[in-house]
Amino acid sequence: MKTFCNCIVEHKIRAPHGGTGRLIGGTMAAVGQFPFIPSVSRNDQHLCAGFIYNEKWVVTSAKCIYGKPKEEFKVLVGALSFVTPDPGEQSIGVFDMVYFPQYDDVTQKHDVALIEVSKPILFGPTTQPMPYGEIDELAQPWDAKIVGWGATFEDGLPSTRLRWGPIDNLAADCSSYDTEEYIESLMICAGSSSGVSPCEYDEGTPLTHVTNFEGIQKEVIIGIMSKNQGCSNATIPTIYTRLPAYSSWLVQTAGPQASPNVLAPQL
């Protein structure tokens, strides 16, 4: 098994050498298309992604922050590009980082964490929270996608611009992983027939799915990228942390989720 969270490359002011790396098979995101995606950086270098939970907390993967000092981290929201500043983008320091207490850094079991930012995130057209939910097994063909700044080839650099790609199999065959690496009740095994795959710097990137949520069809986050066996072969599925399995911990730690289209918090 190969996982990818210990790579660090240039970010924002020091962009990655003009690289054009991206999520494998991805398409450039449009302004406001994915307002819930933050870049989590360490020492001003993009490390992984996540999603905005509420005005104070961001969800990401545990391996992104495990064993690292919070003082080295920042969260960038409202951004599409690491080269050109975007209107409304916010770079915010980190107040606290918490990973799930039973996280296993060998098998990546319970690969979920929360980052508390040092000041409230201001919501607007390009910065919004995103609800999470369970897979709708009846909603087939599945309308799902991943979003991130991942590399375009194995051992590549991160993208300088946010990209997304379609995922059409939310029940892929994960028999290539052993029983400790893939636990169905805690994880999602997902793949794509169109050659899309998460790659380096995509840990924590959300897997979204159009589902029946509270009685209406809407896009929700069902998982965050945890691990795969490399991205050179996009036919091998990726394992995502199944977020509803951690609902109690998320609420206990970070409080309730914010709803999309909320007003900016008062400072």
Backbone angles phi, psi at 177, to 5 degrees: -100, 150
For residue 155, the model assigns a pLDDT of: 60
- Which pLDDT value is given to residue 239? 94
- Written as six digits, the tokens of 51 are 């999603």
H or E stretch covering 52: strand 51-52
Contact between residue 50 and residue 224 where contact means Cβ atoms under 8 Å apart? yes
8 A C-beta contact, residue 212 and residue 227: no
* Region of residue 117 (phi > 0: left; psi between -120 and 50: alpha; otherwise: beta): beta
Asked if 74 and 37 count as a contact pair (C-beta separation under 8 A), the reply is: no
Domains and CATH numbers, the chain: 12-21+35-129+248-254 (2.40.10.10), 144-244 (2.40.10.10)
CA geometry: angle 30, 165, 75, nearest 5 deg: 60
pLDDT value for 154: 60
Distant-in-sequence, close-in-space partners of 216: CB < 8 Å, separation ≥ 6 = none
**What pLDDT shows up at residue 163?**
87
What's the confidence (pLDDT) of residue 161?
85
pLDDT at residue number 15? 30
pLDDT at residue 151, as a whole number: 65
Asked if 187 and 239 count as a contact pair (C-beta separation under 8 A), the reply is yes
Q: Residue 152's pLDDT is what?
A: 59
For the entire predicted model, the pTM comes to 0.86
Query: CA–CA distance from 176 to each of 1, 172, 184, 214 (Å)?
Result: 9, 11, 14, 35
What pLDDT does residue 236 have? 85
- 219: Cβ–Cβ under 8 A, 6 or more apart, which residues? 208, 209, 210, 211
Cross-strand pairs, 191: 169
Distance in angstroms (rounded) separating the CA atoms of residues 126 and 188:
28
**pLDDT 10s digit of each residue in the chain, 267 long?**
444 332 222 223 223 322 222 355 567 888 889 999 999 999 999 999 999 999 999 999 999 999 999 999 999 999 998 888 888 899 999 999 999 999 999 999 999 999 999 999 999 999 999 999 998 877 778 889 998 887 655 665 667 789 888 898 898 998 989 888 899 999 999 988 877 877 878 899 999 998 876 777 888 999 999 998 877 677 889 999 999 999 999 999 999 999 887 655 444
Strands (E), 84-233: 90-99, 113-117, 144-148, 163-167, 187-190, 206-213, 216-227
Q: Tell me, what's the pLDDT at 262?
A: 60
pLDDT recorded at residue 192: 85
Sheet (strand 51-52) strand order: 45-49, 39-42, 73-77, 90-99, 113-117, 57-60, 51-52
Cα separation, 127 vs 115, in Å, equals 16
Closest residue by Cα to residue 144 from 165, 128, 174: 165
